[in-house]
Structure 1
Amino acid sequence: MHGLLRHLESVGFEGAPRVLGVDERGREILSWVPGEAAHRPLPGYAVTEESLVGVAELLRGYHEAVSSYEPPVGAPWDTAASNLDGEPELIGHCDVTPENVVFRERRPAALIDFDLARPTTRLYDVVTALRHWAPIADPADRDSLLYSADVGARMRVFCDAYGLERDSRGEVLVASRVRFERSYEAMRMRADRIGGGWARIWHGGAGARIRRAQDWLERHWDELDAHLR
């Protein structure tokens, strides 16, 4: 992970913390990223179309910066995490939630919390971001400001701003379906085997929220697909 962050610094990507070292107790020291993360309940500026565009552009900028990173052979990435099929294209962030996006002057400026970064595809990172920012979720589980959101329209705005190619847009919903199923199994496994925070998240209803999101996606498939074409 430190190698990844150092690479981002070396190529001039400003939207990530810097590695400062490790202290005498073995704790990693990262630079402070000025700004405010979009904690819930979400502030109004975090749900605007401008912010949606900003997150998509930030993710695309990260992908362009990380595409030249060559991780060391045998690097211990989290292979138990969910993923899509196919060869990895880059090291994805894989957790672009509102809590992990830092805003400055009400604009998305940086990504934090790279703990789940791993070899994956660009599409996986896109559908993960859409899960939280469109959001692909049952209205009962959305932030109140996004309860009545036009999810299909927001997905289109995000994909346009990211520059997702036409062929890939046709795969967004299928990839989201696969991601939901694999995320459910991965989180349940982590809760059972690792416990701690993973168990708290799982027993706090994470699995049920994923299942509700899956059902919502299936019910609104044609509507969402029409926006992406």
Structure 2
Amino acid sequence: MSPARRVPVDSRVYTPAPGEESDVEPMPAGDVTDGVVRVGGTVRRPHQPQSLAVAEYLDWLEDAGFEGSPRFLGRDPRGRDVLTFVPGQCAGSPPEAWAQSGDLLASVARLVRRLHTASAGFVPRAHPFPPRPFPRSPVRPNPTDAAGLICHLDITPQNVVVRDGRATGVVDFDLAGPATAFHDSLNTAMHWVPLRDPADAWPGWEDQDPFRRLRIFADAYGWTEEERRRVPGAGIDAAALSYERMRHNAATLGGGWARMWDDGVGGLIRRRQDWLAANAGPLVTALTT
């Protein structure tokens, strides 16, 4: 369906097929959004303030030829958002050993690059993304950044769909919003390398080399040398903001934010920040030599 003929996102009503509602499978619980289920070939998610902005973004990605995101079908009789199910495997929490593959990591970086290319030019008009609860810019200003790109901002192992050992899709756009490609790709690397204090290594990941894995990601995504040299400082700034935002959201929004805070995510973020500062030189060396 062309953009001119597509029904506006706020007018789409999804009518379940006969018998479809009997085929319900709970989806793995996310950090923030509860109540997500798979119904046949669709996924049902609670409607949220950013849902229509996300729906328009998904329409744009479809028109741009990006095949790795779900499609927004409308809202069902219970008011839930209905999206197409993206088939494949997602890592658990913590990620399994198969998610350590260097080839998979490189394919994640390439998928994110394709997503950013497809996102270029999208400007939400009818349904802008709501302001973040914590009113600070998520991006360190830099004159070389292309500001205003709509990004996913939560490309964790649990949100990447894998088929035949390759990243083919990305789901859960709940945190999508304006940022820069570098910020979003660095955030992805934080999760996938991962960049964190070795004391916080996932079980079975203790022997993974973060410097080697970061280089794999950087080469596959195509970071410039200037971006590679920015990684430690940008990562430290992002960790500082993440800490303040998580603390703010836990206190004001509760729910999954409060659960993560109570589980110690604040300490993990602080340790990541300290690790990045202590390893700034080796990180740049690994990325540029």
Q: Normalising by the residue count of structure 1, what TM-score does the alignment of the two structures yield?
A: 0.95
Distance 1:186 1:78 in 2: 13
Q: Name the structure where helix makes up a greater proportion of residues.
A: 1
Shift of 1:42: 2.2
1:13 equivalent in alignment to 2:13: no
Indicate the percent of aligned positions where both proteins have the same amino acid.
Answer: 40
Contact 2:197 2:272 in 1 (8 A): yes
Shift of 1:200: 0.6
Q: Structure 1: state its 5+ residue gaps.
A: none
Counterpart among 192, 204, 211 of residue 152 in structure 1 = 211
Task: Name the SS of the counterpart of 1:110 in structure 2.
Answer: strand
Q: Structure 2: state its 5+ residue gaps.
A: 1-53
Task: Name the SS of the counterpart of 2:66 in structure 1.
Answer: coil
Shift of 1:76: 3.1
Task: Name the SS of the counterpart of 2:263 in structure 1.
Answer: helix
Counterpart among 86, 108, 114 of residue 33 in structure 1 = 86
Once structures 1 and 2 are overlaid, which stretch shifts more, 85-94 or 74-83?
Answer: 74-83
1:193 equivalent in alignment to 2:246: no
Q: What's 1:113 paired with? A: 172
Q: What's 1:85 paired with? A: 140
Task: Name the SS of the counterpart of 1:71 in structure 2.
Answer: coil
Distance 1:228 1:95 in 2: 23
Contact 1:37 1:98 in 2 (8 A): yes
Q: What's 1:104 paired with? A: 163
1:61 equivalent in alignment to 2:118: no
Distance 2:242 2:261 in 1: 11
CA RMSD for the aligned pairs?
A: 1.5
Once structures 1 and 2 are overlaid, which stretch shifts more, 32-41 or 187-196?
Answer: 32-41
Aligned length: 229
Distance 2:128 2:68 in 1: 23
Q: Normalising by the residue count of structure 2, what TM-score does the alignment of the two structures yield?
A: 0.76
Change (3 A) 1:26 1:73: closer
1:4 equivalent in alignment to 2:57: yes
Shift of 1:63: 0.2
Q: Which runs of 4+ in 1 moved over 3 A?
A: none
Deviations 1:137-181 (A, max 9, x none): 112222223212211111111011001111111111111010000
1:165 equivalent in alignment to 2:224: yes
Shift of 1:85: 2.8
Shift of 1:213: 1.0
Contact 1:78 1:116 in 2 (8 A): no
Write the letter of the residue equivalent to 2:162.
F
Contact 2:157 2:191 in 1 (8 A): yes
Contact 2:129 2:177 in 1 (8 A): no
Write the letter of the residue equivalent to 1:14.
E
Q: What's 1:126 paired with? A: 185
Distance 2:68 2:110 in 1: 11
